[in-house]
Amino acid sequence: MGKELFDYAIKGDIESIRQLFDDPESIFVTDPATVLNKRDKDGKSPMDMAAMLGRAEVIRELIERGADVNSRTKKGYTALHRAACWNRMDCLRILIANDADLQLRNIHGERARESAARYNNTSCVELLDIAEAQKELKQLITSTKEIIADPEKNMGRFTRDDKQSGNRYCDEKNEWLEANRNSSTLEEVLKQKKEFDELLQPILDKLTGDTENDVSKNGKK
């Protein structure tokens, strides 16, 4: 069951893969996860094979059909590890764009980034470093917006101007991320994060202020 999917993935035969889903009664339609994430006797999935062979469009098709981008072998390898080891840049980009987990480690304690470094795939290392920095900036933007919006998290210390300025900074950095997702260098992303931190610091400092001293200054003990 599903052997033809492995064969088509290895060949890069997109049309034949799509034809597998033509029959609404087939397992490819009724239970796609079973065949899409199935592993062969060597523990590899169709997406693993596609990642190793550089079949970027096959990876895209499999993900669209419901394949688990973070499916792992018994030794902890994901398709992201495979693409990184085999220096498949296009495959890496598609996997990253579809939320492949950059932090998953294999049995050797390696993330995809370390696997790429072990094989001296410097372009893959750089791409994964950029993706991680972008993700960290995105998470910082998201968490900051949550703090600004939640009175319990900001403890009511933000003024209206604080909230407007904070949200504006978040929106500006988010727009930069979206516009430069496929073209930014690591240095550019780190620069944007540093600027974001500096802009927000006066606002976020209000959350770590000495409230006891503040009360004393106001004459309210």
CATH 3.30.465.10 fits 3-125, yes or no: no
Does position 220 have pLDDT exceeding 60, yes or no?
Answer: no
Q: Tally Cβ neighbours within 10 Å of residue 40.
A: 13
Q: Name, in order, each residue with C-beta under 8 angstroms of 195's C-beta and a sequence gap of 6 or more.
A: none
Q: What is the predicted pLDDT for the residue at 141?
A: 97
For residues 1 and 160, the model is more confident at 160
pLDDT tens digits, one per residue of 14-69: 999 999 999 899 999 999 999 999 999 889 999 999 999 999 999 999 999 999 99
- Confidence band (pLDDT; 50, 70, 90) for 208? confident
pLDDT tens digits, one per residue of 124-145: 999 999 999 999 999 999 999 9
Evaluate whether 83 touches 63 at the Cβ level (below 8 Å): no
- Confidence band (pLDDT; 50, 70, 90) for 221? very low
Does position 217 have pLDDT exceeding 60, yes or no?
Answer: no
Evaluate whether 137 touches 196 at the Cβ level (below 8 Å): yes
- Confidence band (pLDDT; 50, 70, 90) for 3? confident
Q: What is the predicted pLDDT for the residue at 51?
A: 98
Q: What is the predicted pLDDT for the residue at 187?
A: 98
64 burial type by CB count under 10 A (0-12 exposed, 13-18 middle, 19+ buried): exposed
Q: What is the mean pLDDT of the chain?
A: 92
Q: What is the predicted pLDDT for the residue at 214?
A: 42
Q: What is the predicted pLDDT for the residue at 218?
A: 41
**What's the whole-number mean pLDDT along residues 185-198?**
97
Q: What is the predicted pLDDT for the residue at 93?
A: 97
- Look at residues 92, 97, 15 and name the one whose alpha carbon lies nearest to residue 51: 92
* Dihedral of the alpha carbons of 164, 166, 169, 175, in degrees to the nearest 10: -80
81 burial type by CB count under 10 A (0-12 exposed, 13-18 middle, 19+ buried): buried
**What's the whole-number mean pLDDT along residues 160-174?**
97
Domain boundaries, given as residue ranges, for the chain = 3-125, 130-209
Q: What is the predicted pLDDT for the residue at 63?
A: 97
Evaluate whether 2 touches 45 at the Cβ level (below 8 Å): no
Q: What is the predicted pLDDT for the residue at 2?
A: 67
Distance of CA 139 to the CA centre of its chain: 10
pLDDT tens digits, one per residue of 59-75: 999 999 999 999 999 99
- Look at residues 111, 121, 56 and name the one whose alpha carbon lies nearest to residue 87: 121
Evaluate whether 64 touches 57 at the Cβ level (below 8 Å): no
Distance of CA 172 to the CA centre of its chain: 20
Q: What is the predicted pLDDT for the residue at 144?
A: 96
